Amino acid sequence: MIRLEHLTYTYPGAASPALSNISLDLPDGQLILLIGPSGAGKSTLLRCLNGLAPHFSGGAISGVVRVNGYDPVAATPRVLSQHVGFVFQDPEAQFVTDRVEDEIAFALENAAMAPAAMRVRVEETLDLLDLTPLRDRPLKQLSGGERQRVAIAAALALRPSILVLDEPTSQLDPKSAEDVLNALVRLNHDLGLTVILAEHRLERVLPYVDSIIYLPDDGSPVIFDDARAVMKQVELTPPLVTVGKRLGWQPLPLTIKEGLRFSRPWLTEQRQRDSVRPRHRHRFVRTGAPYLQARRVKVRYGAQEVLRGVDLEVWPGEIVVLMGRNGAGKTTLLRSLVGLVRPQAGDIYVNGRPNKEREVADICRQVGYLPQDPNTLLFAESVGKELEVTLRNHGVERGNWRLEISDQETEQFSDSVSGVNLQSPITQAPAFPITSLLKRLNLLDKADAYPRDLSVGERQRVALAAITVTQPGALLLDEPTRGLDYAAKRTLEQLLHGWRNDGMAILVVTHDVELAAAIADRVILMSQGEIIAEGEPSEVMATSPLFAPQIAKLFPETGWLTADDVSGVK
């Protein structure tokens, strides 16, 4: 039983409160989803439940918090650890030991539980999350999903009645994420454990959720209600719910099964009226040569063949999405395109020039590469400085940084992206307009901000700015939607479309099916170091059980992939 009354919390040194005047009454035994735009204070709210805020973070708290009758502020997190288990975003960052069993025993050792009782408890906890086969394994040998399950087990060792999880799947691939979510559902169903879960991947969790807390970031009151009722009121909805709302389906479907009940008759009716139109396709003509080209590329790490003769071409003006299970060789392919991995056999050409004997730094002037964790890119003290550093690295003279430019030059900028002139020496390079790039990325008002203080989405855009300021002809992105909410994802999609239309060659590696559906002009599927399928997104993705987006499942044989394809019918 959790009760919040007029909870207001301000971080130390912050001008405005992170949470203001929040009142909630959360019943026992439910699987509760916490959603809201990033920056609305979801993590902070969760940390108030076990006293981490204010005990760990400092700051000022007012109002009433009651968890199982305890006041977390007065009782300290140590006492609350018996009632609230807490699981964090990054499974690696929360491990104290290096073995599965020891990790689970850690909390029990601290609570000075008698060794005999502890033995039993660890055994039970292992069973609870199906970890018995992994009990002796070192944590570093486990997959992401297994690690997160260990983290959940460790949080449950003290047998709390409430389990709180802060975006536990945002660092995981879809398969691992599903394992973790299934484990949570089972705990909730079998033990009646109250589960409170902050999560961005609504399309995955929605079927299992009892109720939803919506935490807005604009000062409007927090909503807590039955899942369907909340989905009706908010904008952050998965494609299925978006379509359901647009077509006025009642009651609003939350699962594909529920949705098919509406979509089948609707589709039949549309077909009779002959008003089913194919999805709008971005028309693009391949001109000239491919910007990125890989020929029979082979990479092996030790005895393991990661890439077995991959051929790949990416033309200017197209977005290619590369999908496949973990370990299929996707990231290795990206890394070999920029020279971070040197293939044992085969050739790679960037804009016609072979990669061999070129430095990574040199290749990256022509190919922007965004690694999985954009934080590793950022180090300067302001957003503007980040861009300047890249330019200086590439040896562009200060005189060529045009900080203030006219609209006319903005147009020139977009032109220059499409036709990067590589013959011209660096000193004669076109002006590098920092301001227009920041404007394009919607970061102009953040130019003086410290990059690491920004939100996940903003930080990613800063990293993007830092790698595209040299106006590369190609852009490679590795899992760009990790930790992004729907709004940030939408912004990213628009950005990529803009660059694509300007003539950039874009290659995206992602597990995010909905992102692929929204942006791909061409989809490539990889498995075991080989390309196994390639073509139109609607052909490649629609039938695959693992990679079909919600809309493709809802409207089979239409070739539709996103909610916007469906409304095109009207």
Partner 1 sequence: MNDSLHAQGARFRLPRPLHPLAWASWLAAIVMLLTLTRNPLYLGMTLGAIALVRWRWVSAADEAEQVLSLSPWRFGLIVVTTAAIFNMAMVRVGMTVIFTLPAWIPLFGGAWTLEALLYGALNGLALTGLFAGFTVINRVVPVRALLRLIPRAFYPVAVVISIAVTFAPTTLQQIQQIREAQAVRGHRLRGVRSWLPLAVPLLEGGLERSLQLAEAMVARGFASGSERTERWPQLLVLAGFATVVVGWLLQLVWKQPMWGGGLLVVGAATLLFGLWRAGRHHPHTVYRPEVWRTRDWLVTAGALLVMAAYLLPVFDRNTIFYYPYPALSWPGFDWRIGMAMLGLLTPALG
Q: Which residues bind partner 1 (CB under 8 A)?
A: 50, 52, 55-56, 77-78, 81-82, 84-86, 88, 90, 92-99, 101-102, 105-115, 118-119, 122, 140-141, 154-155, 157-158, 302-304, 338, 340, 359-361, 364-365, 369, 371, 373, 375-379, 389-390, 393-394, 452, 466-467, 470
Work out the burial of residue 36: count CB atoms within 10 Å of its CB; fewer than 13 is exposed, 13-18 middle, 19 or more buried.
Answer: buried
**Of the two residues 232 and 358, which places its CB atom closer to partner 1 in the complex?**
358
- Least Å distance between CB 326 and partner 1? 13
Cα–Cα dist 121/84, whole Å: 17
- Residues contacting 539, CB < 8 A, separation 6+: none
Rounded Cα–Cα distance for residues 340 and 319 (Å): 22
Phi, psi of 31 (to 5 degrees): -100, 105
Nearer to partner 1, 160 or 253 (CB): 160
The two tokens of residue 484 are 């992004």
Q: What distances in angstroms separate CA 100 from CA 113, 151, 241, 533, one per listed residue?
A: 18, 9, 39, 38
Smaller CB distance to partner 1: residue 77 or 207?
Answer: 77
CA atoms within 13 A on the CB side of 48: 28
- Please report how close the Cβ of residue 42 comes to partner 1 at its closest, in angstroms: 16
* Least Å from the CB of residue 260 to partner 1: 38
Residue 98 or 311: the one with the smaller Cβ distance to partner 1 is: 98
Q: What are the angstrom distances between the C-alpha of 441 and each of 406, 435, 444, 466, 505?
A: 17, 10, 8, 11, 18
Both structure tokens of 37 = 């735009």
Report the residue number, 476 or 551, with the smaller CB distance to partner 1.
Answer: 476
Q: Which is nearer to partner 1, 161 or 375 (CB)?
A: 375
Q: CB of 461: closest distance to partner 1 in angstroms?
A: 15
- Is 105 or 187 the residue whose CB approaches partner 1 more closely? 105
Structure token pair of residue 216: 């807005």
Distance CA 118, CA 504 (A): 59
Residue pair 205/197 in contact (Cβ under 8 Å)? The answer is yes
Q: What angle do CA 117, 119, 125 make, to 5 degrees?
A: 100
The contacts found for 65-74 with CB under 8 angstroms, 24 or more apart, are 65/3, 65/4, 65/7, 66/1, 66/2, 66/3, 66/4, 67/1, 67/2, 67/162, 68/1, 68/2, 68/161, 68/162, 69/1, 72/48
Closer of 350 and 563 to partner 1 (Cβ): 350
Q: How many CA atoms lie within 13 A of 310 on its CB side?
A: 36
Instruction: Between 143 and 410, name the residue whose CB sits nearer to partner 1.
Output: 143
Extract the tokens encoding 100: 């599965």
Is the Cβ of residue 143 or residue 544 nearer to partner 1 in the bound state?
A: 143
Q: For residues 50 and 436, which CB has a smaller minimum distance to partner 1 in the complex?
A: 50
Measured from the CB of residue 552, what is the shortest distance to partner 1 in angstroms? 33
DSSP-based helix, strand, coil % in the chain, nearest 5: 40, 20, 40
Q: What is the DSSP string of 370-414?
A: E-S-GGGG--SSSHHHHHHHHHHHTT--GGGEE-S--HHHHHHHH
Shortest Å distance, C-beta 366 to partner 1:
11
Q: Are 168 and 150 in contact (CB under 8 A)?
A: no
Query: Residue 100 CB, nearest distance to partner 1 (Å)?
Result: 12
CB of 263 to partner 1, least distance (A): 42
Q: Is 143 or 414 the residue whose CB approaches partner 1 more closely?
A: 143
Rounded CA-CA distance 328/306 in Å is 7
Q: How far is the CB of 135 from partner 1 (least distance, A)?
A: 11
Nearer to partner 1, 462 or 526 (CB): 462
C-beta of 479: minimal distance to partner 1 in Å? 14
Q: Which is nearer to partner 1, 373 or 536 (CB)?
A: 373
Check residue 421 and report its DSSP letter: -
The Cα–Cα gap between 518 and 493 comes to 7
Q: How far is the CB of 94 from partner 1 (least distance, A)?
A: 4
Comparing CA positions, the residue from 158, 147, 57, 52 lying closest to residue 97 is 147
Token pair 């391949």: residue: 286
CA distances from 50 to 1, 27, 125, 335 (A): 13, 17, 21, 42
